[in-house]
Amino acid sequence: MPYYSLREFIDRLEAKGELIRIAEPVSPILEISEITDRISKMPGGGKALLFENVEGSDMPVLINAFGSARRMNLALGVEDIEDIPKQIERYLKLAPPATLMDKIKLLPMLLEAAHFPPKTVGSSQAACQEVVHTGDAVDLGKIPVLQCWPNDAGRFITFPIVVNRSADNKLRNVGLYRMQVYDKHITALHWHIHKDGAQFFHEFRRQKKKMEVAVAIGADPAVCYSASAPLPYGIDEFLLAGFLRKKAVPLVKCKTVDLEVPATAEIVLEGYIDPEELRLEGPFGDHTGYYSQDGDYPVLHVTAVTHRKNPVYLTTIVGIPPQEDFYLGKATERIFLPLLRTQLPEIVDMNMPLEGVFHNSVIVSIDKRFPMQARRLMSALWGLGQMSFVKTIVVVGRDVDVQNTDAVLEVLLNRVDFKRDLFFSEGILDVLNHASDRALYGSKLGVDVTTKMEGEPGFGEELRATPASSLPNPSAVVDRFKEVKACQLLEMKARHSVLFVAYDKTRPHQVKEFIAQFFKNPGFSSISILIVLEAHVDVKNYSTVMWKFFNNLDPKRDFHFVDGHLGIDVTRKYPEEGYQQDWPDEIAMSEEIKNKVSEKWDKMFNNE
């Protein structure tokens, strides 16, 4: 059965042992983030947290509600997330009825589909309008909005379901766009340049018209998820939510703007944007694990705040993975796979690994039937919706389980040939990508490790393995180069050996020189791939290494080939190296907050 509201979902989480209530007083300034960060990095994503005593507000705070595979299944009402793509495939593969009996068999599905479109209800049926504040009564300070990280520009609403319409009023857009709170009635709206909300905003700006906006906070789980989903332009997110719920989403007309919002939401903000008014927003600790840069963004003037009696504030934090957003993204990976196959039917499966933070890495398996099919697939993905932001694509055969990263890595290190299997391209990149020399675009890498077939370079060739006994001792590298602070061999028997190096870079071009010197040393010639990271990186933590690798990589610039070997420089870049962005800082909590949280930890979780 679908959840009518967030309240029902909270009850379900508690009944299933997936929720912890915390009565200990906590601050929304950094403390909740530190607690949640520790919990979300526990095995399986920890538990959802309901903070019942938040300083400065009467509202409880719910966070990490979607932060595990089990909670995502509960949120979307399935035993297994794979049930949803199976349902989608039923509709995609629906054959037109040829006989009366076929039409009769089709009737149950058609009746089910009739429940998908949203429906409008009256204010008396809208719990989100039990309490209404307008004019001078509007006070965003009553909401326990978090400051997530020490260098954030302020407090940010991080799980807002933002609703707006196109300038001609024909299309509705629903999305998650963070909102920095400036004062009692003014926030920013952080629309990335590539998003539908930004496109609608620019329509209003061209016409010099004010744009109405509504923001729902704490809707039912299907609506919360659907607002994050990468739907094609013009497709209503409330329609997807209806499909997931198998029941129409009830909407209610707002009090001061001509828009509709989920009637069962906890809190609703209404207002308008003057397209001529921009204000500095950010920095903000983002899902890449780095602070996104500040910039000028539209300003929302809040004309009304409506809410339930005794509302719950739903929020989230993002940062160094894993965090709650990983599980929302994994749901998208599974749910949208059938839709991707409608355009690229050779796709067997897809994995967006944790360390790739959605847009930095995708692994795809295909049913290969003709030469260079993997390269065609890469080019197609780089031209397809939000897949166009992906920086690295690895393509394997259908026999490889892409959800098993060790299996993928084994295939990669045994099959890849540097000359024939690496495919470099250029294109748009996510606005949060900081590695490229310029913002919003840069180089991309495709890796084809499918089995070579007749007609392809490499067909029938045997690949020579590197004997494990010939690999150097990492301590020899540390002894040879004073800038090397630590190094670690990847423990995998494969044709290509990999060495991770933590390097103290202090000047431009230093790592490129180091790579050349390293491979000239006969004692290190058995290393195939040298990955050079910043000095502070824990090279023994494979997940951390891969997270840094994908974040800091610009493939064309950072791949250095030396006599059949490959050195990869994923250190911070200098302007003298052609870098024209501002390299951001990594997210880290202050020691003061860490100590405060540690002191109250046992009181918060003594019954768990």
Q: What is the pLDDT of residues 357-380, one digit of tens each?
A: 888 999 999 999 999 999 999 999
Match 């919360």 to its residue by tokens: 224
- The predicted structure's pLDDT at residue 455: 87
Q: What is the pLDDT of residues 271-304, one digit of tens each?
A: 999 988 999 999 999 999 999 989 999 999 999 9
Q: What are 124-175's pLDDT values in tens digits?
A: 999 999 999 999 999 999 999 999 999 999 999 999 999 999 999 999 999 9
Q: What kind of fold does domain 324-448 have according to CATH? A: UbiD C-terminal domain-like (3.40.1670)
pLDDT for 362: 97
Q: What is the pLDDT of residues 427-454, one digit of tens each?
A: 999 989 999 999 999 999 999 999 999 9
Ramachandran bin of 170, using left for φ above 0, alpha for ψ from -120 to 50, beta for the remaining angles: alpha
- Percent of the chain whose predicted confidence (pLDDT) is above 90: 83
pLDDT of the residue at 471: 85
Q: Is the pLDDT assigned to residue 468 strictly greater than 60?
A: no
Q: Are 148 and 261 in contact (CB under 8 A)?
A: no
Percentage, residues of the chain above pLDDT 70? 95
Contact 63, 319 (CB under 8 A): no
Prediction pTM value? 0.93
Q: Which SS3 state, helix, strand or coil, does residue 24 take?
A: coil
At residue 74, the 3 state secondary structure works out as helix
Structure tokens at 326: 């990983």
Q: How far apart are CA 258 and CA 270, in angstroms?
A: 10
Q: Measured between alpha carbons, how far is 470 from 489 in angstroms, rounded to an integer? A: 12
The pLDDT value recorded for residue 109 is 57
Are the C-beta atoms of residues 232 and 469 closer than 8 Å to each other? no
The runs of H, that is alpha helices, within 503-569 are 510-520, 542-552, 555-558
CB-based contact 93:353 (threshold 8 Å): no
Give the pLDDT score at 44.
93
Q: Is the pLDDT of residue 423 over 90?
A: yes
User: Is 70 exceeded by the pLDDT of residue 187?
Assistant: yes
Q: Where are the alpha helices (DSSP H) in 264-384?
A: 324-335, 337-343, 373-381
Q: Helix 221-228 and helix 6-15: axis angle, to 10°?
A: 110
Contacts of 98 (CB under 8 A, 6+ apart): none
Q: How far apart are CA 158 and CA 318, in angstroms?
A: 9
- What are the residue numbers of the active site? 286
In contact, 447 and 394? CB cutoff 8 Å:
yes
In total, the chain counts a number of residues equal to 608
Q: Has residue 608 got a pLDDT over 60?
A: no
Please, is 167 exposed, middle or buried when counting C-beta atoms within 10 Å of its C-beta (0-12, 13-18, 19+)?
A: middle
- Cα(595)–Cα(573) distance, rounded to whole angstroms? 33
What's the token pair of residue 138? 């509007």
- Mean pLDDT of the 464-488 span: 84
Domain 468-577 belongs to what topology?
Answer: UbiD C-terminal domain-like (3.40.1670)
Amino acid at 194: H
Mean pLDDT calculated for residue range 257-266: 97
Q: Fill in the amino acid letter for 493.
A: K
H or E element: which one contains 244? helix 237-245
* Confidence grade of residue 181 (pLDDT, cut at 50, 70, 90): very high
Helix and strand totals (H; E) in the chain: 17, 28
Mean per-residue pLDDT for 211-230?
Answer: 96
Asked whether the beta carbons of 533 and 503 are under 8 A apart, the reply is yes
Tell which residue, 275, 87, 305, has the closest CA to residue 181.
305
List the Cα angle 249/254/258 in 5-degree steps. Answer: 105
pLDDT at residue 529, as a whole number: 96
Residue 315 one-letter amino acid: T
Closest listed residue to residue 596, CA positions, set 20, 23, 31, 21 = 31
Could you tell me the end-to-end alpha-carbon distance of the chain, in angstroms, rounded to an integer?
Answer: 29
**How far is 537 from 285, CA to CA, in rounded Å?**
19
Burial label, 128 (beta-carbon count in 10 A; 0-12, 13-18, 19+): buried
CATH code 3.40.1670.10 region(s) in the chain:
324-448, 468-577
- Write the CA distances from 522 to 373, 501, 519, 525, integer angstroms: 38, 18, 7, 5
SS3 per residue for 95-110: CCCCCHHHHHHHHHHH
pLDDT higher than 90, residue 536: yes
For residue 445, list its beta bridge partners.
392, 424
> What fold is seen in the domain 6-81+115-314?
Pnp Oxidase; Chain A (2.30.110)
- Residue 183, both tokens: 């004062």
Look-up: residue for tokens 């000359």? 419
